[in-house]
Amino acid sequence: MSLTIYQASVPVFQQILTSLSSILTKAAAHAETKKIDPAVFIAARLAPDMFPLSRQIQIAADHAKGACARLAGVEIPSFPDTETTFAELQTRITKTLDFIKNLKPAQFDGAETREVKLKIGGNELTFTGQKYLFHGAFPNFFFHATTAYDILRHNGVEVGKRDFIGSF
């Protein structure tokens, strides 16, 4: 049996978004235990020219919902980028998970060859669904998810590789 684009995408996004949610829960508990203002973590960055934690979570969620929507041939839901607390970031993840969980495998039929058009740097680029998923969506999603993990780990939250990978 062949691997479908649905099987290759939705469960992977669900796994890592669920892990990010658990990591945020640990970060909130860490902040409370150590009497650290949670805003310190929300605004933390790995480097001055990188996005803060809040933006990393927003972008990871955007790549998950955007990739799934494009591959399923449905409209991408729009979420405003206004999260400033752990609870709001959790809500962002939950809304993203709810969206992708409601997509049906049949919506992804033919997605590997479906045209996906993106505007990048003012240029419109066209990819096959397969190339988009494996060479664009996944690398971007994992970059931002990993960076969110790294920001929290760097700031003392006790998380490890198993927290990032989660259950599969």
Task: Report the CATH number that the domain containing residue 44 is assigned in CATH.
Answer: 1.20.120.450
Rounded Cα gap, residues 164 and 166, in angstroms: 6
Tell me which of 116-125, 133-142, 150-159 is least confident.
Answer: 116-125
User: Is 87 part of a structural domain of the chain?
Assistant: yes
User: Is 120 part of a structural domain of the chain?
Assistant: no
Distances (CA, A) of 6 to 11, 66, 106, 110: 8, 14, 8, 10
**Token pair in block for residue 60:** 């990871």
Q: Which is nearest to 72 in space by CA: 133, 22, 147?
A: 133
Rounded Cα gap, residues 66 and 61, in angstroms: 8
pLDDT tens digits along 28-75 = 999 999 999 999 999 999 999 999 999 999 999 999 999 999 999 999
User: Is 40 part of a structural domain of the chain?
Assistant: yes
* Residue 102: domain span: 5-114+128-165
pLDDT tens digits along 75-126 = 999 999 999 999 999 999 999 999 999 999 999 999 999 999 998 889 999 9
Q: What is the pLDDT of residue 166?
A: 92
State the total domains in the chain: 1
Q: What is the pLDDT of residue 133?
A: 98
